[in-house]
A and B are shown apart, each in its own frame.
Chain A
Amino acid sequence: MYDFAYHKPATLAEAVGLLADPEARPISGGQTILPALKHRLDRPAALVDLSGIAELRGIRKDRDRLVIGAMSRHFEIQTSPVVQAAIPALARMAGMLGDTQVRNRGTMGGSLANNDPAADYPAAALGLGATLVTSGGRRIGADDFFQGMFATALEPGELLVSIEFPVPEKAGYAKMRNPASRYVMTGVFVSRGPMGVRVAVNGAGPGVFRQPDMEAALEANWSADAVAAIRQDPDGLNGDIHGSAEYRAHLVTVMAKRAVLDAG
Chain B
Amino acid sequence: MPSVSLTVNGTSHTVEVEGRTLLVELLREKLRLTGTHVGCDTSQCGACVVHVNGESVKSCTILAVQADGGSVTTIEGLAGPDGALHPMQEAFREYHALQCGFCTPGMVMSAIDLVKKHPDGMSEHEIREGLEGNLCRCTGYHNIVRAIAAAQEVMHGRAAALAPAEA
* A residues apposed to B, CB below 8 Å: 1-6, 8, 27, 30-31, 34-35, 37-38, 47, 49, 51, 75, 98-102, 104-105, 182
Contact = CB atoms under 8 A, between A and B. Distances in A.
Contacts of B34: none
- For the complex of A and B, the 10 pairs showing the least CB-CB separation, nearest first, are A99-B133, A6-B19, A99-B132, A104-B55, A1-B20, A3-B20, A101-B58, A4-B19, A6-B65, A101-B133
Given A101-B49, A182-B132, A30 B62 contact: yes
B20 A100 contact: no
Contact of B66 (A3, A35, A49, A99): A49
Contact of A6 (B2, B56, B114, B117): B2
B64 to A, nearest CB: 10
A33 to B, nearest CB: 10
Nearest to B130: A100
Interface string B88-126: 000000000000000000000010011001000000000
Nearest to A46: B19
Interface in B118-167: 130, 132-134
B27 interface: no
Given A100-B110, A101-B56, A101-B57, A31 B130 contact: no
B41 to A, nearest CB: 7
Contacts of A98: 133
Contacts of B43: 31, 34-35, 101-102
Nearest to A47: B19
B149 to A, nearest CB: 17
B45 to A, nearest CB: 11
Q: DSSP class of A's interface residues: helix, strand, loop or mixed?
A: mixed
A129 to B, nearest CB: 31
B20 A51 contact: no
Nearest to A2: B20
Counting chain A CB atoms within 10 Å of each CB, the highest count among B19, B49, B132 belongs to B19
Contacts of B7: none
Contacts of B110: 100-101
A41 B42 CA distance: 14
A27 B18 CA distance: 16
A101 B20 contact: no
23 contacts: A2-B20, A3-B18, A3-B19, A4-B19, A6-B19, A6-B63, A30-B61, A30-B63, A31-B61, A34-B43, A37-B20, A38-B41, A49-B65, A51-B66, A98-B133, A99-B46, A99-B133, A100-B110, A100-B113, A100-B114, A101-B57, A102-B43, A104-B113
B62 A105 contact: yes
A61 B41 CA distance: 39
Interface in B36-89: 41-43, 46, 49, 55-58, 61-63, 65-66, 68
